[in-house]
Amino acid sequence: MVITGPSGVGKGTIRQEVIRRTGASYSVSATTRLPRAGEVDGRDYYFVDRQTFQRMIDDDELLEWADVFGRLYGTPEKPVKQAIEQGRTVILEIDVQGGLQVRRKMPEATFILVLPPSDEELARRLRGRGSEGEAEADRRLAAARKEIEAAERSGAYKHKVVNDDLEQAVRQVVDIVNEERSGP
Ligand code: 5GP
User: The pTM is what?
Assistant: 0.94
Nearest C-alpha neighbor of 125 from the set 141, 114, 146: 141
Give the start-to-end residue ranges of the domains of the chain. Answer: 2-178
Q: Ligand 1: which of 3, 29, 69 to mutate, most ligand atoms within 8 Å of CB?
A: 29
Which residue numbers in the chain have pLDDT < 70?
129-132, 183-184
Nearest C-alpha neighbor of 23 from the set 106, 83, 81: 83
Residue nearest to atom 24 of ligand 1 (CA): 94
pLDDT at 127: 83
Q: Which atom of ligand 1 is nearest to the CA of 93?
A: 12
pLDDT at 7: 84
Q: Which atom of ligand 1 is nearest to the CA of 33?
A: 2
Amino acid at 47: F
- Tell me, in angstroms, the distance from the centre of ligand 1 to residue 28's CA: 10
64 lines ligand 1 (CB under 6 A): yes
Per CATH, the homologous superfamily of domain 2-178 is: P-loop containing nucleotide triphosphate hydrolases (3.40.50.300)
88-127 per-position pLDDT tens digit: 999 999 999 999 999 999 999 999 999 999 999 999 888 8
Burial label, 59 (beta-carbon count in 10 A; 0-12, 13-18, 19+): exposed
- Tell me, in angstroms, the distance from the centre of ligand 1 to residue 184's CA: 30
pLDDT at 34: 96
pLDDT at 131: 61
